Every structure is written in structure tokens, then in C-alpha cells.
Amino acid sequence: MNVLNQQFVYADDVDLIGDDVDALHSNTDVLVEACDEIGVQVNLNRTRYMITSRNTGNEGNKIIRIRDEVIEKVNKFIYLGRYVTSKNEVTEEINVA
């Protein structure tokens, strides 16, 4: 299986990318283990996941957990001051006023 494993990291903002929920869950486990090794914790209160695949069929029913905490699924999130949507759009701007 050809699995996509990517990450965008800027300071303490990390964006993990996987080509399906199982790959994303695996990538998340690797990140958490690496953080544990160096004494850094993943902030579960700020952790979410989003599916951007066109083939979301049964992916919507899967759950990602870090330790025993269920991670919330979202349709958009803010990364470096821009919204990223499940349709893979980054055009929506944040109103700071």
C-alpha cells in the first residue's frame, strides 16, 4: 500500500496529513510517541482532525483517539491564520475585527 505521510510544522502548530483515517491515526501515534520521548505534550484541547478525501464513504464513521481521548472531527480549521476546509480550500479569510 502506498501511504501518504506528510506534516506541516511551524513553531507549535502541527498539521499531519494521511491519505485515509488509518494513516492519519498512525501518523498521530508516531507524533505522540516522539513528543513523549522529548518531554513535550500534545494539547488534546486544541487537537482536531478533518477528512479531505473525495472517497470518504465509510471514513466518516471512524474515530481517532490519542490515549483514551476521542479527537473531534471538523469540516474546517485554522492553520497559520487561514481556514482550511474539508473541500481543500484555503480561500476563506478570518475576520479579525
Q: Quote the domain boundaries for residue 55.
A: 5-85
Task: Please give the model's pTM, rounded to 2 decimal places.
Answer: 0.68
Examine residue 97 and state whether it is found in any structural domain, yes or no.
Answer: no
Instruction: Please report the beta strands in the chain, taking only residues with DSSP state E, as ranges in sequence order.
Output: 5-10, 13-18, 48-49, 65-66, 69-70, 72-73, 76-79, 82-85
Predicted confidence at residue 2, as pLDDT, reads 47
Three-state secondary structure of 12-40: CEEEEEECCHHHHHHHHHHHHHHHHHHCC
Examine residue 20 and state whether it is found in any structural domain, yes or no.
Answer: yes
Predicted confidence at residue 96, as pLDDT, reads 56
Interval 2-55: pLDDT, tens: 455 667 777 777 877 776 788 888 888 888 898 999 999 888 888 888 877 655
Average the pLDDT over 70-97 and give the result. Answer: 74
| pLDDT band at 94; cut points 50, 70, 90 | low
Examine residue 95 and state whether it is found in any structural domain, yes or no.
Answer: no
Q: How many domains does the chain have?
A: 1
Examine residue 33 and state whether it is found in any structural domain, yes or no.
Answer: yes
